[in-house]
Structure 1
Amino acid sequence: MTGVALAEELLLLAYDDETGRATMPRISLDLGMAAAVLVELALAGRIAYADGSLVATDPTPLGEPIVDGVLGRIAADAPRSPSSWVQRLRHGLRDRILADLVDRGAVRDVEETELDFIVVHRYPAADPSVEEDTRGRLGAALADGHLPDERTAALATLVAVLRMEPALGLTGGDAVDARRRLEEIAGGAGFSGNVSLDDSVVRPSVGLVVAALAQAVDAALGPRP
C-alpha cells in the first residue's frame, strides 16, 4: 500500500489545521478509524463480506503495520459481523494513526496541561499539502456530476456516514447540498443499495464491504440530530 491511507485522510479532515483540535465527537472518529482501515483492506483485496461477516481472503501483508495488524486479527479470528469488528477495533486506533501522521510530518503533536494536571494533545497541521490533496479530490467529487474513482467514492461515503460536513467547512444550505451529493456518490457507487453492484464501476467485493460498514457505523452513531 502506498500514499495516504483512508483513515489518515479522515483524521486530517477531522482536525482543525490551526487549533489542532478535533471538530467531531470522539466516538465518531473512533468508529470512523475502524471502518476506514477495514475499507482499506477491502480496496487492497484482503477482506470480503460474506454471509453477514467480514472474512480474510488474502493474508498477505501490505507493508503498513496498523493495517496489517488488523488483517492478522481478522485472519486469525472466527468470522464476525462488520458491527462487531468496528467496535472491537476502534479503541486506541486513532492515537496510533495520529502518531503515524506525526512521524510522517503531516501534523505536529502539541502537548499542553490544562487545569494544572490534565495533559491534552493538539495536532495542528505541519504539512498542509497532504490534506490539500484529500480536500481537492473531495471538492471535485462534490462539484462534478460524475462518479469519482473507487477510492474517492469510498472516502466520500465514509465522510457522509460519519456526518463530517462541518469538517469540510460547510454549514447551512451548503452542508445540505454537500450531504445530498455525498449520498449520490455513495448510491451511484452501489454503497447504499441504490444501484446494483453489477452496474457500478466499483468492484462488487469492495461495494459489499463498504455498504455493510456504512450501515454498521450509522447504526452505532444513532439517529441524526
Structure 2
Amino acid sequence: MTGVALAEELLLLAYDDETGKAAMPRISLDLGMAAAVLIELALAGRIAYAEGSLAVLDPTPTGEPVTDGVLARIAADTPHSPSSWVQRLRHGLRDRILGDLCRQGVVRDVDETELGFIHVHRYPVVNPAVEADSRRRLAEALTGSATPDERTAALATLVAVLRMEPALGVSGAAAEDARRRLTEIASGAGFSGEVSLEDSVVRPSVGLVVAALARAVDAALGPRR
C-alpha cells in the first residue's frame, strides 16, 4: 500500500487550506482519524474483527509510517474491542499525521507565538493536489451514478459519521442531500448497517469500527439533530 493514507485524506479535508487550522471539532476529528487508520488496516487485510476484538491477521508493513505504527501497536498489545481502539489511538495521532504530511511536502508547519510565550502551530497547504484528488472522488461519488471504489466509499463513510458535510462546500438543504447520499454510499459498500461475519471479515470489521466511531462522536458532540 502506497500513497496518502485514509487518515491523511480525512485530516486535509478537515483543515482550512489557508489558515491551516481545523475547521471542525478536534475531538471528533481525532476519533475519526483513529477509525480511519483501523479501516485502512482492515481494507488492507492486516486486521480483522474476531471474538469481540480487533486482531492482526498479517503483520506485514503497509509502507505508511503512521499506519504501520498502529499495526505494530495492535500486534504487541492485548486484545481490545473496536470502541476501545478508537479511543486509545486518538491521543497524539493528529500530530503524527501532520508530521507525516509535512515530510511529504503536502502541508507546512507554521510555528507562531501568542501572548509572547504560547506556541501555536498552523498547517497551511503547500501541495493542493492530494486534497484535490480526495474532493474530486467524493464529488463524483455524490453526483455520479457509478459505485465508488472501496477507498472512496470508506472516506465518504467517515465524512458522514463525522458530520463533515460543510467541508464539502455545501450547507442547508444541499448538506442534507449530501448526508443522505454519503449514508447510501456507506450502506452500499457494506460499511454500515447490519453486520454479518458469515461471508467476509473485511466489511464487517470496517462496519464495526464505523459503528464504534458513531457512538464516540455522539458521546462527544451529542446526537445529530
1:155 aligns with 2:155: yes
Write out per-residue CA displacement over residues 45-102 of structure 1, whole angstroms, 9 at most, x where no aligned residue: 1000122211101111122222111111111222210010011111001001001111
Shift of 1:115: 2.4
Residue matched to 1:63: 63
Q: Is the 8 A contact 1:111 1:122 kept in 2?
A: yes
Residue matched to 1:93: 93
Residue matched to 1:110: 110
Residue matched to 1:209: 205
Aligned equivalents of 1:87, 1:196: Cα separation in 2: 24
Structure 2 counterpart SS, 1:79:
coil
Q: Is the 8 A contact 1:153 1:189 kept in 2?
A: yes
Write out per-residue CA displacement over residues 170-205 of structure 1, whole angstroms, 9 at most, x where no aligned residue: 11111101000000001111111269788xxxx933
Residue matched to 2:214: 218
Write out per-residue CA displacement over residues 4-32 of structure 1, whole angstroms, 9 at most, x where no aligned residue: 11001001100011111101111011111
Aligned equivalents of 1:148, 1:72: Cα separation in 2: 30
**Larger displacement relative to structure 2 (179-188 or 57-66):** 57-66
Q: What residue identity is the alignment partner of 1:149? A: D
Shift of 1:43: 1.3
Aligned equivalents of 1:144, 1:197: Cα separation in 2: 30
Residue matched to 1:9: 9
Alignment of 1:156-175 (within 5 A): 156-175=156-175
Aligned equivalents of 2:110, 2:56: Cα separation in 1: 38
Q: Is the 8 A contact 1:156 1:186 kept in 2?
A: yes
Q: What residue identity is the alignment partner of 1:213? A: V
Q: Is the 8 A contact 2:195 2:208 kept in 1?
A: no
Structure 2 counterpart SS, 1:49:
strand
Provide the TM-score with structure 2 as the length reference: 0.93
Structure 2 counterpart SS, 1:55:
strand
Quote the sequence identity (%): 72
Alignment of 1:169-184 (within 5 A): 169-184=169-184
Structure 1 counterpart SS, 2:63:
coil
Aligned equivalents of 2:64, 2:136: Cα separation in 1: 25
Aligned equivalents of 1:194, 1:182: Cα separation in 2: 17
Q: Is the 8 A contact 1:188 1:194 kept in 2?
A: no
Provide the TM-score with structure 1 as the length reference: 0.93
Q: What residue identity is the alignment partner of 1:153? A: A
Residue matched to 1:29: 29
Aligned equivalents of 1:30, 1:20: Cα separation in 2: 16
Q: Is the 8 A contact 1:56 1:74 kept in 2?
A: yes
Aligned equivalents of 2:14, 2:8: Cα separation in 1: 10
Report the count of equivalent residues: 221
Q: What residue identity is the alignment partner of 2:216? A: A
Write out per-residue CA displacement over residues 129-168 of structure 1, whole angstroms, 9 at most, x where no aligned residue: 1110000001000111332111111111111111111111
Aligned equivalents of 1:209, 1:194: Cα separation in 2: 12
Q: What residue identity is the alignment partner of 1:67? A: T
Aligned equivalents of 1:64, 1:3: Cα separation in 2: 8
Structure 2 counterpart SS, 1:121:
strand
